[in-house]
Amino acid sequence: MNSDNRTHPQPIRRIAHLDMDAFYASVELLRYPQLKGLPVVIGGGRSAVQAALDALADDPEAQAGGNPRAHIPVEAFARLKDYVGRGVITTATYPARQFGIGSAMGLMKAAKLCPQAIQLPVDFEEYRRFSRQFKQIILSIAPQMENRGVDEVYIDFTEVPGGQREGGRVLARLIQKSIFDATGLTCSIGVAPNKLLAKMASEFNKPNGIAIVHDDDLQTMIWPLACRKINGIGPKADSRLQSHGIHTIGELAAKDEQWLIDHFGPSTGAWMHRAAWGRDDRPVVTESEPVSMSRETTFERDLHAVRDRAELGAIFTRLCQQVASDLQRKGYVGKTIGIKLRFDDFKIATRDQTLAWHTADAKTIRDAAGQCLKRVPLQRRLRLLGVRVGSLAREGEAPQLPAGARHEVREAAAPHGDIWTGQLF
């Protein structure tokens, strides 16, 4: 038979989910190696660390190595027991997690669980830098990658060299080692027939682990797990399932599909049945156009629109500049400018305005966001401020705001006075 006419069997679908281990905390431990093995939480302001860095500014030994943070004495770091405020934890090191501390927990609550824990500030710029770095490493090895956030991705191993060997373990090891050699960071990888199972598998052997799931592993590896392990089943759905005596994925799989549809609706019920049986045909999406870009910050203390005007104005301007920088770096422009406010009673207000042209200009974004701000009553103190740019288009593919129109935008705001702007521009 002519080799051109031979039929080759289709490769078995192998999808990986890669999750960086305690990503923010791990990045911080690279900068502060003296804190390895200690309970550390990431969250809150940066004053204590900055003071310690300032004290080392004239220390030749500290400055010589290129990482003065590594020379900060452990006793100089802020401790949770001294924290006062309403900040929340972004993440924590594994030693801190052993005390029951977790993401989104209030810092004051965490202080009761582990008062000796060290508190470090959040540095999103540094995390994004490492995120770009590890993703470029993955793409150099396996080009079919779906970006799922700053610290996780899906990767299609199916036709990548080594992607079928040992069910994908060989390629997973290569990616793990390449990331660690280049960054010093570890990750956990699950490889399975689809995204649903790969996501679950990446949790099996954390940290720095690899887990392989095949089709015939469903009953032994997946069905004994709690229903909450299925990505998409949240606390409310899980509570409803438990009220019907369904605690594990195996018990969910044992339910008739029509029964699930009757109790959870046609869409959710059918999806639950498919998920319990490990069925997921979603592709790895390599190109995903963002709908919007935003920046927001939660204040260490509630700020007043009048008495804290200068501080709010500086924060507001910085957020607009950061969003503009994000747009420019990623090659996008937008035309819908919006703001988000959270007040001291936790109520949220949003406003937006659509411009006539797309833009990625910081001053134009600032002017339009300032107009949105004027439409919100500001009697209550603020605990969060955010700026968003939507209706995105690729730069060069949409008409941009002419230079002369910036003056028109500012003029439109002038009659009533522009909140928090004044002389900032």
Residues classed as catalytic:
152
8 Å CB contact between 103 and 89: yes
Structure tokens at 184: 């010093």
DSSP letter (8 states) at residue 7? P
Q: Can you point out the beta strands (E) in 246-328?
A: 292-303
CA separation for the pair 101, 117 (Å, rounded): 10
Distances (CA, A) of 424 to 207, 341, 377, 409: 47, 21, 22, 16
**3-state SS track over 50-100:** HHHHHHCCCCHHHHHCCCHHHHCCHHHCCEHHHCCCCCECCEECHHHHCCC
CA separation for the pair 263, 279 (Å, rounded): 20
CA separation for the pair 217, 344 (Å, rounded): 50
CA separation for the pair 366, 46 (Å, rounded): 26
Alpha helices in 154-229 (DSSP H): 169-183, 195-201
* 203 contacts: CB under 8 Å, gap ≥ 6: 19, 188, 190, 229
Peptide bond into 207 cis (omega under 30): yes
8 Å CB contact between 197 and 280: yes
Other CB atoms closer than 10 Å to residue 204's CB: what's the count? Answer: 15
Phi and psi at residue 119, in whole multiples of 5°?
-105, 125
CA separation for the pair 110, 101 (Å, rounded): 6
CA separation for the pair 421, 299 (Å, rounded): 19
8 Å CB contact between 378 and 419: yes
Could you tell me which residues are beta bridge partners of residue 119? 41
* Tokens 């392990």, residue located: 229
